[in-house]
Chains A and B, each alone.
Chain A
Amino acid sequence: MEQARANIYRFFSTIFLDPPDEHLISTVFPYVSSALQELLGVHFSLLENVAEIREDYTNLFVLTTNKYLKPYESVYLDEGLVRGLSTIRVQNAYSAAGVKPVLSDLPDHMGLELDFMAYLCEEKEQNLDLQKQFLDNHIRLWVNDFCARLAEKSDTSFYREISSALRLFIEYDYNLIRELQRAETIIA
């Protein structure tokens, strides 16, 4: 189960951090999308080709035009600016877990935060408290606003559908973690 969760988190992370390519859309996406359809009842229509999705990605995540999402937690939570207190807190969460991002971007990029969840899922020792804490203190505080903005600014059905899937997945996964925690308590 942890591997499946990690795969879903890393898929979301990847489509926010890298320009989507043929491998991702043709090979990885079908697995993830059918799982998400099953879990969340969302629908994926995939109306666009890879080039169109990449163009949308560039507008949303790279160019600072009016479509730019500013995908950083501090933008959504601290006065609209990058490198805010949230950035420091996210960095501290990574350090506390004994890891650092290898990407030359700010630590509170949505993609990095999602990949951090994937990392936590893949850890050998179960760390449900850490996972819940990171969702509570970070991702859940801004994922809805982020997804709303993504839906508003996106030109493709791909990212629009991703936006509702991500929002629902985070809530689903959060409930799952809490359920698993309860199970842990009972066993203990």
Chain B
Amino acid sequence: MNITRRKFLKGTAALAGAALLSDKIRFVSSLGESAQGPDPIVADIKRSVCLMCHSACGIQCKIKDGVLIKIDGNPYHPNCAEGKMRVLFETNPKNVTQLGNICAKGQAGIKEVYNPLRIKHPLKRDGPRGSGKWKVITWEQAIQEIVEGGDLFGEGQVEGLRTIRDLSTPVNPDAPELGPKANQFVMMIGRAEHGRKEFTDRWVRDAYGSINYRNDHTSICETSHHVGLDLCFKGKHHIKPDIVNAEYIIFFGTSPYEANFPMQALYRKLNIFRERGGKMVIIDPRFSNSAAKADTWVPILPGSDAAFALGMMRWILDNNKHDKTYLENTTEAAGNADGHKTYTNASYLVRLDTKKFLRTEDAGLGEGEYVVVVDGVPTAHDTVDRADLDATLTVNGISCKTGFSLLRERVNERTLSEYAKICGIEPAVIENVAKGFTSHGRKATADFYRGPVQHTNGTYAARTIAILNFLIGNISWKGGCEAHGGSHWHEMGGKAGNPHDLKKSLHPGKVKATGIPIDRHRAKYEDSTEFKKNGYPAKRPWFPFAYNFNWQEVIPSIDAEYPYPTKALFILMANPVYSTPGGTAFIPTLMNTKKLPLTVSFDIYMGETSALCDYILPDRHYLERFATPHVSPAILTMTSGVRQPVIDPVHPDTMLVEDVLIKIAERMNLPGYGNNGFGENDPLNTAEDWYTKLFENIAFGDKENNAVPGATAAEKVAYIRDRGGRFENVDKEYNGEYTNHPYKGICYIYHEGLASSTDSMTGALYDGLPIYEPIKDIMGNLVEDPEYDLHLITHKLVFHTQSRTASNPWLMELLKENHAQINTIDADSRGIKTGDNVKVSSATNPAGVYGKALVTESIRPGIVTIPNSYGHWEAGSKSHSIDGKKTKRVPYIGKGLTGNPIMRLDPYLKDVTLQDPIGGSASFFDTKIKIEKV
């Protein structure tokens, strides 16, 4: 007998007799039970992409007898599964047994598509606007009336789309730069998804010929985040940490455990990051779900993010913790030689007179571009690899400093204590975070989202935070700051492998839309006739850097008939009245049939804005339609989602917006639709014709010989439709020490374009450096409401999406009513207890909004937060009359309160929220309020 066994028998003699813990047996027989596992329902699986929020997670839908019975996550999709849990793209869909993650909202999509509150037929108002009286009309009637116009409502003649489309007569003969009369047709899309966005752009801009295409909602989301980053990178405008491999992450003003996007991928990756000992800092006046998981919570005052970042820079520069070598690199080649994918313009000389970079010609250095300084001598930037960071000198009589010297001066304008005072915190907090940030090599990132940018100083805050990353040289490194992400295959074509170039060709008779958009985004006031006549200020602001449209300016500009009057407005999946700060100020304009003669809303339910329109045309739900959604750079592998109908339309008398627009186009004979829409015998008669081209581009891929398996184009498309998209496998996330699809090239510490541009209202130059500015109105005056003693912010609940989930019974069940959340100290001094009815009011809305209070320690004293998504006054909470029959009001909708109606309007413009003059972001977090028990 062997040693082990003998020893065992001897040692355990006392244990050998009977079972000691016989009541603790945990296993019972499972013989005879089905081997099917936990999910015995046999159903068809269809994969698509969610649209309960913008994260674009893959979904896997179970269909039983044509009915959608369950939504799970798509395990092929990188938003839904991590690492080894992700199904490889080549896996046969029939062999997939596991499920991906999907959040509460995603699962509740089922309650939206089958929601009895959906609009089932085209509706036309049957009384004055906003009267709540409607009649059902046919699609033929709707299209005929919208195109041809006439005395549509017994209120006089209304121009239809046909006569508004005048491509040759200037809308204002005195100011021809404004473009033709066709620009009097305006489109406003709330949530514009890829595929549909490109379709409507083609229709409005390239076929109808109006410059007022899209006007999407991004400026009430976080556009200054994009614009700010676009002024930091060449052509790229989104950063995310490479969470899984990072060691230290600062999130300014965002809560990845309940918001941001893709939320479920962010929190999953953060769990791994934290499991591996990563340190997370949450900067937010509210103690969010993410703060609860963080190592450090820093509750700074709203709007002071840039001051915090500048305070960090002060400590970093004072202690020489910046990556001097990285910043000295003068070109991409020099950066590469130093091991980086990127480089900065820190060493370039800036002229103090024009605020632009000094050019080699000005310096007497012949042809070239920029000038740097080497050992005190001006030198062409591309003739050396490294240059001096700190330099002040006069070249050819021109006073210059390096961008880095200017940055150092800017940072030194205040002491650490002064920055801390602006933030309302102790200087040691900034110091500790700066120390942490610079103690992990390149595996640290300063990230941000809505919080710092939905302020009047948003673009500056975005740039200031982003540039923290440049100081440690972490861009494109594994574990560092990702500025590109996996990206996607190009559905619009134009790359070598794509069969259809929808960007440049396939549009016979394409029109060139010209003129100034109604919201004056990307438009320079100095080029206008008005400027030559009146100088500064413009009548309303112009936004040369706001490339993402300016949502909140559209309706006030229509009201002001500025820069020209509008004749028709289409809104699509949009609710500006409810979802915009101060959006209730739009109501008089939407009611005004002189300023806005024709309004059409494409919607699936009765939103606050749709309720005020002339026509409501019922769109198909996202589970019944197509799109090609992209994902955020948090995903490091190439990802092209494919949204496709998973069930037949629930309501047959609804129609895809694409199909409606095609029918209008055919009636008006717009170029690029019908049997020869894409070209000779290449029809664009249905939405599916359009999306098939997009899906083929994805299936064939960007490079040659990059197609997915399949003998024919149809088989290739089926291959990606079966999987809910095209996905690069998880082993392609990294390439050595870098991410696999890295951003390469320049990082702008100083931005000469910004520094040499003038604000259309104040006539002052913008600033090309990191900078903290206090909250100002459009004329540059401080906004102060001393009689209002609390500060209002908002936040997003993890189980809601802004305006459009208020009628979802599953999600409303989770929290029936929201609250104004107030700190105990502030509540005690006002005699407010949890559950008390309160009135919340502001200088621009003293009448206020009413709701219940929640007294909590989880917010900084002095701040009140109202979570979004509640306080609806339509969305099913009100009865309407359709063909004389009253609709039921649904009691669970409309509870709670929303902060938007009390948001501070701009004191100068008076009809629009405070806004960031550069990026165009609407201010959500700059309103002072009063709260009283009622």
A binds B: yes
Write the residues of chain A forming the contact surface with B, with a CB cutoff of 8 angstroms.
1, 3-8, 10-11, 13-14, 17-18, 24, 28, 31-32, 34-35, 38-39, 70, 75, 78-81, 84-85, 88, 91, 94-95, 98-103, 111-112, 115-116, 118-119, 122, 172, 175-176, 179-180, 183
The reply to whether A95 and B30 form a contact with Cβ atoms under 8 Å apart is yes
Q: Does B25 contact A (CB under 8 A)?
A: yes
> In whole Å, how far is A135's beta carbon from the nearest beta carbon of chain B?
15
B95 interface hit (Cβ, 8 Å): no
Q: Which residue of B lies closest to A95 (CB)?
A: B30
Write out the residue numbers on chain A whose beta carbons fall within 8 Å of the beta carbon of B42: none
Contact present for A101 and B5 (CB under 8 Å): no
Cα–Cα distance between A14 and B26 once the two chains are bound (Å) = 10
Residue of A nearest to B275 (CB): A80
A81 touching B271 by the CB < 8 A rule? yes
Query: A11-B20, A39-B12, A81-B82 in contact; A115/B25 too (CB < 8 A)?
Result: yes
B11 and A38 form a contact (CB under 8 A): yes
Across the interface, which residues of A come within 8 angstroms of B85, CB to CB? 78-79, 81, 84-85
| A33 to B: closest C-beta gap in Å | 11
CB of A6 within 8 A of CB of B19, answer yes
Q: A81–B24 contact, CB under 8 A? A: no
Residue from A3, A85, A116, A180 within 8 A of B17 (CB atoms): A3
Q: Which 9 A-B pairs have the closest CB atoms?
A: A38-B11, A4-B12, A80-B275, A100-B30, A4-B15, A99-B27, A39-B11, A4-B16, A79-B83
B41 lies within 8 A of chain A by Cβ:
no
Q: Mark B856-898, 1 if CB is under 8 A from A, else 0.
A: 0000000000000000000000000000000000000000000
| Residues of chain B lying within 8 A (CB to CB) of residue A7 | 12, 15, 19-21
User: Is A10 within 8 A of B272, CB to CB?
Assistant: no
Whether B7 contacts A31 by the Cβ 8 Å rule is no
List 28 A-B residue pairs with CB atoms under 8 Å apart, sorted by A's residue number. A3-B15, A3-B16, A4-B16, A7-B19, A8-B12, A10-B19, A10-B24, A10-B25, A14-B21, A31-B15, A32-B15, A32-B20, A34-B14, A35-B12, A35-B14, A38-B11, A79-B85, A81-B82, A81-B272, A95-B30, A98-B30, A99-B27, A101-B27, A115-B27, A116-B26, A172-B4, A179-B2, A179-B4
In chain B, residues 1-54, which have Cβ atoms closer than 8 Å to a Cβ of chain A?
2, 4-5, 7-21, 24-31, 33, 35, 37
Q: Is B84 interfacial (CB-CB < 8 Å)?
A: yes
On whether the beta carbons of B5 and A179 are closer than 8 Å, the reply is yes
List chain B residues, Cβ under 8 A from A6: 19
Query: How many residue pairs between the two chains, A and B, have CB atoms under 8 Å in the bound complex?
Result: 132
Q: Report A24 CB to chain B, min CB distance, Å.
A: 8
Contacts of A75 in B (CB 8 A): 275
Taking CB as reference atom, which chain B residue is nearest A119?
A: B27
Contact in complex: A81, B268 (CB < 8 Å): yes
On B, residues with C-beta under 8 Å from A are 2, 4-5, 7-21, 24-31, 33, 35, 37, 82-85, 97-98, 268, 271-272, 275-276
Contact of A1 among B9, B25, B28, B33 (CB under 8 A): B9
Contact A3 B275 (CB under 8 A): no
List 14 additional A-B contacts (Cβ < 8 Å) besides A31-B15, A98-B29, A179-B4.
A4-B15, A7-B20, A17-B24, A17-B26, A32-B15, A39-B8, A79-B85, A80-B272, A80-B275, A101-B27, A102-B27, A103-B26, A116-B26, A180-B5
- Least CB distance from B730 to A in Å reads 10
Q: Which residues of chain A have C-beta atoms less than 8 A from B5's C-beta?
A: 1, 176, 179-180, 183
Query: Are B276 and A80 within 8 A (Cβ)?
Result: yes
Residues in B neighbouring A98, C-beta threshold 8 A: 29-31
CB-based nearest B residue for A70: B275
CB-nearest residue of chain B relative to A3? B16
Contacts A79-B82, A80-B276; A18 near B27 (Cβ below 8 A): no
Min CB distance, B2 to chain A, in Å?
5
Contacting residue for B24 out of A34, A94, A95, A115, CB 8 A: A115
Q: Which of A5, A28, A183 is B2 in contact with, Cβ under 8 Å?
A: A183
Which of B11, B21, B28 touches A28 (beta carbons < 8 Å)? B21
Q: How far is the CA of A85 from the CA of B15 in the complex (A)?
A: 36
What residue in chain A is nearest B272 (Cβ atoms)? Answer: A80
Are A99 and B30 in touch, CB under 8 angstroms?
A: yes
Q: Kindly list chain A residues whose C-beta atoms are within 8 Å of the C-beta of B26.
A: 13, 17, 101-103, 111-112, 115-116, 119
Q: What residues on A are CB-neighbors of B20 within 8 Å?
A: 7, 10-11, 28, 31-32
The residues of B that contact A34 with a CB separation of less than 8 Å are 14
- Is there contact, CB below 8 Å, between B27 and A1? no
Contacts of B21 in A (CB 8 A): 7, 10-11, 14, 24, 28
- How far is B886's CA from A19's CA once the two chains are assembled, in angstroms? 60
Chain A residues within 8 Å of B272, by CB: 79-81
Q: Report the bound CA distance from A102 to B97 in whole Å.
A: 23
Residues of A within 8 A of B31 (CB): 98
With a cutoff of 8 Å between Cβ atoms, the chain A residues found around residue B29 in the complex are 98-100
- The complex places the Cα of A84 from the Cα of B85 at a distance, in Å, of 7
Which residues does chain A contribute within 8 Å of B10, judged by CB atoms? 38
Which chain A residue lies CB-closest to B10? A38
Given the complex of chains A and B, what is the CA–CA distance between A7 and B31 in angstroms? 25
Q: For the complex, what is the distance from the CA of A41 to the CA of B897, rounded to whole Å?
A: 67
Residues B15 and A100 in contact, CB atoms below 8 Å apart: no
Give the CA-CA distance A7 to B5 in the complex, in Å. Answer: 16
User: How near does chain A come to B709, taking the closest CB pair, in angstroms?
Assistant: 25
With A14-B21, A78-B83, A88-B98 given, is the CB distance from A175 to B14 under 8 Å? Answer: no
Shortest B558–chain A CB gap in Å is: 50
Residue of B nearest to A112 (CB): B26
CA–CA, A70 and B26, complex, Å: 20
Q: How many whole Å from B293's CB to the nearest CB in chain A?
A: 10
How far is A18 from B25 in the complex, measured between Cα atoms in Å?
12
Q: Which residues of A contact B19 (CB under 8 A)?
A: 3, 6-7, 10, 122
- Among residues of A, the one whose C-beta sits closest to the C-beta of B15 is A4
Return chain B residues, CB-CB under 8 Å to A81.
82, 85, 268, 271-272
A84 partner residues in chain B, CB cutoff 8 A: 84-85
Nearest opposing residue in chain B for A27, CB measure: B20
Once the chains bind, are B14 and A79 in contact (CB under 8 Å)?
no
Q: Is the CB of B12 within 8 A of A95?
A: no
How many angstroms from the CA of A39 to the CA of B11 in the assembled complex? 6
- Distance between B254 CB and nearest chain A CB, rounded to angstroms: 22
Cβ contact within 8 Å between A1 and B84: no
What's the nearest-Cβ distance from chain A to residue B247, in Å?
A: 15
Cα A17 to Cα B23 with chains together (Å): 13
Collect the chain B residues with CB atoms within 8 Å of residue A122's CB: 19
Tell me which residues across on chain A come within 8 A of B11, comparing CB atoms: 35, 38-39
Question: In whole angstroms, how far apart are the Cα atoms of A14 and B19 in the complex?
Answer: 13
Task: Tell me the smallest distance from the CB of B297 to a CB of chain A, in Å.
Answer: 15
CA–CA, A18 to B30, complex, Å?
23
Task: Answer whether A94 and B30 are a contact pair too, CB < 8 Å, given A35-B14, A39-B11, A88-B98.
Answer: yes
B24 to chain A, nearest CB (A): 5
CA separation between A135 and B30, bound complex, in Å? 21
CA distance A75 to B10 in the complex (A): 37
Which residue from B8, B35, B97 sits with its C-beta under 8 Å from A95? B35
Residues of A within 8 A of B16 (CB): 1, 3-4
Residues of B within 8 Å of A38, CB to CB, are 10-12
In angstroms, Cα B8 to Cα A183, docked, is 15
Query: What is the bound-complex CA distance between A28 and B97, given in angstroms?
Result: 42
Cβ-neighbour of A175 out of B4, B82, B271, B276 (below 8 A): B4
Q: Distance (Å) between the CB of B698 and the closest chain A CB? A: 28
Considering the chains assembled together, what is the distance between the CA atoms of A4 and B275 in angstroms?
37
How far does the alpha carbon of A154 sit from the alpha carbon of B23 in the complex, in Å?
27
- Complex Cα spacing A63 to B33, Å: 34
CB distance from A183 to the nearest CB of B (A): 7
* Nearest CB in chain B: distance from A117 CB, A: 11
Can you name the residue of chain B whose Cβ is closest to the Cβ of A30?
A: B14
Set B15, B35, B84, B275: member contacting A35, Cβ < 8 A: B15
Q: Distance (Å) between the CB of A90 and the closest chain B CB?
A: 12
Q: Which of B26, B27, B33, B98 has the most CB of A within 10 A?
A: B26
**Closest chain B residue to A76 by CB distance?**
B275
**Whole-angstrom distance from the CB of B86 to the nearest CB of chain A?**
10
Contact residues in B for A111 (Cβ distance below 8 Å):
26
